[in-house]
Structure 1
Amino acid sequence: MTSSTVNSPVLLAQPRTWRLPGGLGAWLAGLIIFAFLALFLLAPVGSVIYTAFVTEEGRLTLGHFANFFGQSLFRESFVNSMLVAVFSVVFASLIAIPLAYLTVRFEFRGALVIQTLGILPLIMPPFVGAVALQLIFGRSGSVNLLLDQWFGFTIPVMEGLGGIIFVESLHYFPFILLNLVASLRNIDGAMEESAQNLGCTGFRLFRRVIFPLAMPGFLAGASLVFVKVFDDLGTPLVMGTTNMLAPQAYLRITSVGVDDPLGYVISVIMIAFSILAMWLAARVMKGRDYSTLQKGGNSIQRRKLTAWQSAIAYFWIGLVLVVVLSPHLGILLMSFAKVWSFSVLPDAFTLQHYATVFSDSSRMIHNTLLYCGLAAGLDVVIGTAIAYLILRTRLPARQWLDWASSIALAIPGLVLAIGYLRIFKGMAVPFSDTPITATWVLIMIAYAVRRLPYALRSCYAALQQVHISLEESAQSLGANRLSTIRRIVVPLMAGGILAGFVTSFITAAVELSATIMLTTTESNAPMSYGIYLYMQSVSGRGPGSALGVIAVVVVAVGTYLSHWVAERSNARTAARHED
């Protein structure tokens, strides 16, 4: 080694890292993952976009978009979808912001329980909640029957677009709640103390200091709510509203055919506004500093409530939780109800609905476990591989794998399913005459692609916590790369991998947008599709509710396991740090 090399300030300034060069194994893994993403994400979405801009002869055109905006039904559907998405964000924020602020900022009993109960709406498919809310808040629901009996008036909560906004707000507000709670907990308490010393207190303190510092979490949650509501297909269909973009895209493709250009125009608009929502959330935060100098021990200080303040806070939180959890109560009662019509509570109860489900729909339960299990397993394998390639290799363009997989966050499930129907149209399973679109494989792959970003984030975070020195030690003792990954890296990532698996599983179990497009036979149908079919008729709502309760139990158990695994992983990490 020459003296110039030893004294090079550039080399001396570089931190010591252990990144594997882009060897054959890394190249092979990267190419396989990219091929998977290209075939099952980029190509279907690209096909949808391409079809919206070309004529039957293959020439570029904007005529399809002119045709779309030239029809009053489509213009109305576009405006309605925008209104529902925007107002759902507004009302979800009105629920989530006070709930997050009260439980983080003030001291009172049950804060953790309240936050946990506030997350429960996510474990129920929104279209199932819509049916339950109709029984409780509908024109002839329990609440309006009591109001009419006691006060002589009713409230049209579940009518038209307002009913959809009500359902979507109650279902998706936990996205804002979760992100906002995390942001509020990370605020440096010294900033609040400084503002108070300068005379900034009360609502002004919240408006000028606390909420702006928590803006990243709020915007992250709000953008997710917008995208989820804009993409939702099941809720409008169950509530009989078709003049929105997602139902119109579904109806155009299923009634006119997979070659109908207007279905693709609607899909492109849905993609564009989903991406726009996420871009705007990132753009608003760009160039602004939300960081704090201290964290943890000097976080935002909790203040004690006076007696009357506690009474008001508990009353408001209790009222919110009663409304938020009413779909769960409604679907549970309906699953046992023999007759529930024009009455506050069911007139009689039975277990027949559960007997019907287990005798007629046990295959759907099996299918859900199979599809979601395979999809989640595929997600954690791909997520672990991408995380390893990014953090531990010098593979060129490895960051593109992360970006490509993250695109799925902004792609509605309905759009992805339409893309699958187009690019796989006419293709058969190898060594068989069965069309690929008639199999359950595409359903499982759609679940995997849509949930890959969730698993990737868990695996990436888990690998970041595995110190490189552990792998270097294994290498220095003679272990090869595969042995190091298998015996050192994967076991240390086990908590994050399992959390990613459970997250992918439970979110896939309530997927309907892609499911409803890709399910061709009842023998291949998962629970979400079965619930939707049952809910189409009044006589089927009892079994549909029973199947919905089973789906909620499956997702709830998965959610519990996710939290349990995360806590065990954090405990092990803390123990290793103490040692």
Structure 2
Amino acid sequence: MTLALPTTAPREKRAGAAAATPGQWVVALAIMAFLLVALVIPVSTVVYVAFTEKGTGAFTLVNFVDFARTDLFVRATWNSVWAAAMTVVLATVLALPLAVVTTRYRFRGAALVQTLGFLPLIMPPFVGAVAMQLFFGRNGTINLLLGEWFDISIPFMEGLNGVIFVEGVHYFPFILLNLSTALRTIDRSMEEAAQNLGSSGLRLFRRIVFPLAMPGYVAGASLVFVKVFDDLATPLLLNVKDMLAPQAYLRITSIGIADPMGYVIAVVLVLLSVGAVVLSMLAMRGRDYATVQRGGGGLDTRPLRRGERLIAWAVVLAILALVLAPHAALLLLSLATVWSYSPLPDGFTLAHYARVFGDSSLYITNTLLYASLAGLIDVVLGTAIAYLVLRAKLPGRQWLDWTAMAAVAVPGVVIGIGYLRAFYGIDVGGVPLATLWIVIVLALAVRRLPYALRACYAALQQISVSLEEAAENLGATKARTLRRVVVPLISGGMLAGFISSFATASVELAATLMLVQSNSDAPLAYGLYVFMQSPAGRGPGAALGVIAVVLVAVCTFLSHLVVERQHRRQSRDVAAPTIPGATG
């Protein structure tokens, strides 16, 4: 799953845009109100508390001075930056060979490799942390075998090593997807020109191919870097507390929402996340990556010689075995009677699944409700924002897109802290608003809005404004044109956006961990975290994790299916354009 940065609407579509109607103003104001309540006010509250003196409310920098003078917080900052940087390095090591082999060579099974390489993203990282401990932990399968055979032990999962290992394996598909796409769209003539000048092999890749693919790599790497700051549960489950996200969570939950230091840490998290995105954009600034043709036919692929094919398969299989190990461990754990201090489980049972469906079905029910509502909200808002930006002449409409996309750079723990501070003092029937389950839905919706927005935006960009003008010329009103022409044509993008939002919201934990006040309101990700806290609960937790992985996998498959169907439909529409429902 990739996210493109918001761009300015094409000029030709602006020229065809009609003057803003009162209805469009109402919709724009409603969207602004939602973004204000769900994103701007909570984040602004966090920033405000961080810069004010406790008790007086006066502006102060003393909170940040205290932060800088506290060894724990300084260490947590450096640990977070180090973990994010090393995660990018590990993710690059895993993604680069797979991207190169499957795009530059005639490699049988390339599509399967790309598909399997995407699978780590459909497992929550904190679930992967528990699963990877079974294989790579101090008493995991690998170290038990190494100790028995060679009397050695490798600290794969110790301290920050474990965090980097888990998150590198989990997030490397972001680099794989972006880099593979970039390599496929390089103009073939660039490579041919370099070869004619005598460049080949590693020199060709290092001096020509990889620099041309740098925009895709930087996009994936920056996303990996930011996602590490967003991950709260993985460090907590690995007992690594000297990182920023765990420290923010522990300050708020142990001392309370009145403690300013939790807000200072949250502000630092936002600054680091935004800084990473800005730096990635500046790194690409002033450089020309354009090619002569659009895509240029892609890089020239060549067959592998026998020795090269053996090496390629060895590398690919080794990487896939590593990145798919958490899935195998999770499945084994969900079926294991006992798995402790042994390379494999002692026996197998379905009792964990029976317990999950019997005692923990509420987690699944809540997840379906919350994720469905969040996905519906995101699709409605995403469609509305895309239409206003691309079709209306509202002044400042681009800010709707930018504000909605800003949620990408705001860690979930910051959203959770902001909601607690902003809404806890508001009573609804004598109950604090921040404790109601609807606030969880609100947090999930604003966190996943960028995914649905980009899907709807891309779908609408591919629809010519002339179709709407033709419908209006035939007598359809603006509202009827929107309902009978625009929505049917972008329905594939809307559905893909809903599925993307639903799937990712289903396993969101950072924000929900802050907002869940009672077990009856807890979603599946929260239940997973609770189960994984104790060894006795890890069997049912693994069963619940398998259910989560299957749920997200099905949604991801449906999303790809919808996108492909939409592409085929648009191809037919280009061949024989129609205006559905313009007069009917």
| TM-score in terms of structure 1 length | 0.96
1:561 aligns with 2:558: yes
1:399 partner amino acid: Q
- Tell me how far apart the structure 2 counterparts of residues 25 and 170 of structure 1 sit (CA, whole Å): 47
In the alignment, is the contact (CA less than 8 A) between 2:187 and 2:296 conserved in 1? no
Q: CA deviation at 1:150?
A: 2.1
Q: CA deviation at 1:23?
A: 1.6
* Structure 1, 400-409 or 13-22: larger mean CA deviation: 13-22
1:533 aligns with 2:530: yes
1:117 aligns with 2:131: no
Equivalent residue in structure 1 for 2:37, among 32, 36, 39: 39
* Equivalent residue number for residue 400 of structure 1: 399
Give the count of matched residue pairs.
565
1:352 partner amino acid: A
In the alignment, is the contact (CA less than 8 A) between 1:176 and 1:221 conserved in 2? yes
* Equivalent residue number for residue 3 of structure 1: none
- Tell me how far apart the structure 2 counterparts of residues 76 and 196 of structure 1 sit (CA, whole Å): 49
* Equivalent residue number for residue 9 of structure 1: none
* Equivalent residue number for residue 516 of structure 2: 519
In the alignment, is the contact (CA less than 8 A) between 1:88 and 1:169 conserved in 2? yes
List per-residue Cα deviations over 1:82-138 (Å, max 9, x = no partner). 110110011101111121111100111000100010010000000000000000011
SS in 1 for 2:536: coil
In the alignment, is the contact (CA less than 8 A) between 1:22 and 1:396 conserved in 2? no
In the alignment, is the contact (CA less than 8 A) between 2:353 and 2:540 conserved in 1? yes
Question: 1:175 and 1:14, CA in 2 relative to 1: closer, same or farther beyond 3 A?
Answer: closer
Q: CA deviation at 1:295?
A: 3.2
In the alignment, is the contact (CA less than 8 A) between 1:499 and 1:562 conserved in 2? yes
In the alignment, is the contact (CA less than 8 A) between 2:137 and 2:156 conserved in 1? yes
In the alignment, is the contact (CA less than 8 A) between 1:19 and 1:392 conserved in 2? yes
Question: 1:574 and 1:230, CA in 2 relative to 1: closer, same or farther beyond 3 A?
Answer: same
- Tell me how far apart the structure 2 counterparts of residues 207 and 342 of structure 1 sit (CA, whole Å): 45
1:320 aligns with 2:283: no
- Tell me how far apart the structure 2 counterparts of residues 392 and 243 of structure 1 sit (CA, whole Å): 48
In the alignment, is the contact (CA less than 8 A) between 2:125 and 2:170 conserved in 1? yes
* Equivalent residue number for residue 359 of structure 1: 358
Q: CA deviation at 1:259?
A: 1.1
* Equivalent residue number for residue 65 of structure 2: 66
1:468 aligns with 2:465: yes
SS in 2 for 1:339: coil
In the alignment, is the contact (CA less than 8 A) between 2:183 and 2:299 conserved in 1? yes
* Equivalent residue number for residue 8 of structure 2: none
1:22 partner amino acid: A
In the alignment, is the contact (CA less than 8 A) between 1:17 and 1:468 conserved in 2? no
In the alignment, is the contact (CA less than 8 A) between 2:188 and 2:296 conserved in 1? no
* Equivalent residue number for residue 544 of structure 2: 547
* Equivalent residue number for residue 6 of structure 2: none
Structure 1 residue runs of 5 or longer lacking an equivalent are 1-12
* Equivalent residue number for residue 499 of structure 2: 502
1:34 partner amino acid: M
Question: 1:296 and 1:82, CA in 2 relative to 1: closer, same or farther beyond 3 A?
Answer: closer
* Equivalent residue number for residue 292 of structure 2: 293
* Equivalent residue number for residue 384 of structure 2: 385
Question: 1:478 and 1:578, CA in 2 relative to 1: closer, same or farther beyond 3 A?
Answer: closer
List per-residue Cα deviations over 1:244-301 (Å, max 9, x = no partner). 1100000000011101111011000000000000001100111111111213462111
- Tell me how far apart the structure 1 counterparts of residues 290 and 296 of structure 2 sit (CA, whole Å): 16
In the alignment, is the contact (CA less than 8 A) between 2:14 and 2:390 conserved in 1? no
Q: CA deviation at 1:559?
A: 0.4
| TM-score in terms of structure 2 length | 0.95
- Tell me how far apart the structure 2 counterparts of residues 562 and 182 of structure 1 sit (CA, whole Å): 18
After the TM superposition, list the runs of 4 or more consecutive aligned residues in structure 1 that deviate by more than 3 angstroms. Answer: 13-17
> Within 5 A, what are the aligned runs for 1:449-464?
449-464=446-461
- Tell me how far apart the structure 1 counterparts of residues 513 and 373 of structure 2 sit (CA, whole Å): 19
Q: CA deviation at 1:43?
A: 0.7
In the alignment, is the contact (CA less than 8 A) between 1:85 and 1:226 conserved in 2? yes
- Tell me how far apart the structure 2 counterparts of residues 451 and 513 of structure 1 sit (CA, whole Å): 13
* Equivalent residue number for residue 572 of structure 2: 575
In the alignment, is the contact (CA less than 8 A) between 2:14 and 2:391 conserved in 1? no
2:533 partner amino acid: Q
> Within 5 A, what are the aligned runs for 1:145-160?
145-160=144-159
- Tell me how far apart the structure 2 counterparts of residues 145 and 521 of structure 1 sit (CA, whole Å): 40
In the alignment, is the contact (CA less than 8 A) between 2:68 and 2:74 conserved in 1? yes
List per-residue Cα deviations over 1:310-369 (Å, max 9, x = no partner). 000100110000010000000000001010011111001111111111111101101111
Q: CA deviation at 1:535?
A: 0.5
- Tell me how far apart the structure 2 counterparts of residues 297 and 240 of structure 1 sit (CA, whole Å): 50
- Tell me how far apart the structure 1 counterparts of residues 122 and 78 of structure 2 sit (CA, whole Å): 29
2:43 partner amino acid: V
1:168 partner amino acid: E
2:24 partner amino acid: A
In the alignment, is the contact (CA less than 8 A) between 1:20 and 1:392 conserved in 2? yes
- Tell me how far apart the structure 1 counterparts of residues 295 and 231 of structure 2 sit (CA, whole Å): 38
> Within 5 A, what are the aligned runs for 1:24-423?
24-56=22-54, 57-296=56-295, 298-423=297-422
Q: CA deviation at 1:457?
A: 0.7
Equivalent residue in structure 1 for 2:488, among 478, 491, 503: 491
In the alignment, is the contact (CA less than 8 A) between 1:271 and 1:411 conserved in 2? yes
Q: CA deviation at 1:576?
A: 2.1
- Tell me how far apart the structure 1 counterparts of residues 13 and 575 of structure 2 sit (CA, whole Å): 25
- Tell me how far apart the structure 2 counterparts of residues 150 and 576 of structure 1 sit (CA, whole Å): 64
2:391 partner amino acid: R
- Tell me how far apart the structure 2 counterparts of residues 37 and 417 of structure 1 sit (CA, whole Å): 15
SS in 2 for 1:303: coil
Question: 1:347 and 1:14, CA in 2 relative to 1: closer, same or farther beyond 3 A?
Answer: closer
SS in 1 for 2:20: coil
SS in 1 for 2:341: coil
- Tell me how far apart the structure 1 counterparts of residues 374 and 220 of structure 2 sit (CA, whole Å): 25
RMSD: 1.2
In the alignment, is the contact (CA less than 8 A) between 1:367 and 1:525 conserved in 2? yes
* Structure 1, 147-156 or 134-143: larger mean CA deviation: 147-156
1:53 partner amino acid: F
Between the aligned residues of both structures, percent identity stands at 57
> Within 5 A, what are the aligned runs for 1:7-18?
17-18=15-16
2:27 partner amino acid: A
* Equivalent residue number for residue 427 of structure 2: 428
Q: CA deviation at 1:14?
A: 8.5
- Tell me how far apart the structure 1 counterparts of residues 72 and 327 of structure 2 sit (CA, whole Å): 34
2:497 partner amino acid: G
- Tell me how far apart the structure 2 counterparts of residues 377 and 292 of structure 1 sit (CA, whole Å): 39
